[in-house]
Amino acid sequence: MNTALTIAGTDPSGGAGMQADLKTFTAMKVYGMCAITAVLAQNTCGVRLIENVSIPMVEAQLDCVFEDIFPDAVKIGMVSSIPIIEAIAGKLRQYGAKNVVLDTVMVSTSGHRLIDEDAQSALTQKLMPLSDIITPNLPEAEALCGFAITDKASQQRAAEKIAEGYGGYILIKGGHFDGGDDMLYKDGRVRWYPTRRVETHNTHGTGCTLSSAITAGLAKGLPMEEAVERAKEYITGALASGLDLGKGNGPVDHCFAL
């Protein structure tokens, strides 16, 4: 069986973070493993408290996975401090991790900032070079490129700007403006993925879910463009299923096809 590792924070309400990643791996028939970077108190209404896991514990979790069940792909989610970023980067290099997906998590769906501002540069300098693809949403892409993204033209310019310091695939998700589609960019090549709009406010964990679905596809040996396409189909189905839980932005239905 193909295997995938998520390196991420938790969500006790089950819609985002490590819990969403593991559900997605299972739904896509990949054996999922996890290394926890932070314990969050959050639900569909927002984030209340974040407590980072110690560096020795982060490193020990990664050692346990890589030394025993080497993952076919790795997804990196919430990493909120420089020491954690450095620890993860060191272990990825040590073990020669492959098919690394970096979900550039900076802000939650509810608007809570999830990464220290001084850690953002460490993310770009230490983790991005080790990643095969990054998956920023529009606000995150704006933070990376330094200017506003309001349409497809500026979306492409943002990818070109980010690519000046990064050679992997860049998937900029366009769901934050009307008519926006997702754009995959690498080495000047652009592929647009049309987004089928699903009328729902239950979008908690969509970014985590999409990036982990891409990870599952890569773990199964799919080429990048097909892995993204399959992941897009999966997240659309999870949104369209109509799961309605919680008092805020509810979770998607990760198990809609099971």
Report how far residue 25's alpha carbon sits from residue 72's, in angstroms, rounded to the nearest whole number.
Answer: 12
Q: Tell me the domain boundaries of the chain.
A: 3-240
Exposed/middle/buried for residue 247 (C-beta within 10 Å: 0-12, 13-18, 19+): exposed
Report how far residue 168's alpha carbon sits from residue 228's, in angstroms, rounded to the nearest whole number.
Answer: 14
pLDDT digits (tens, 9 = 90+) for 214-227: 999 999 999 999 99
pLDDT of residue 185: 97
φ, ψ for residue 173, nearest 5 deg: -80, 130
Active site residues: 173, 203, 205-208
Sign of the alpha-carbon torsion through 20, 23, 27, 32? positive
CB atoms < 10 A from the CB of 35, how many? 24
pLDDT digits (tens, 9 = 90+) for 23-38: 999 999 999 999 999 9
| 84-112 mean pLDDT | 87
| 195-211 mean pLDDT | 89
pLDDT of residue 219: 98
**In 81-232, which ranges are E strands?**
100-102, 133-134, 169-172, 182-186, 189-193
CATH of domain 3-240: 3.40.1190.20
Report how far residue 33's alpha carbon sits from residue 162's, in angstroms, rounded to the nearest whole number.
Answer: 30
pLDDT of residue 117: 72
Q: Is 179 a residue whose pLDDT tops 70?
A: no
Q: What is the pTM of this model?
A: 0.95
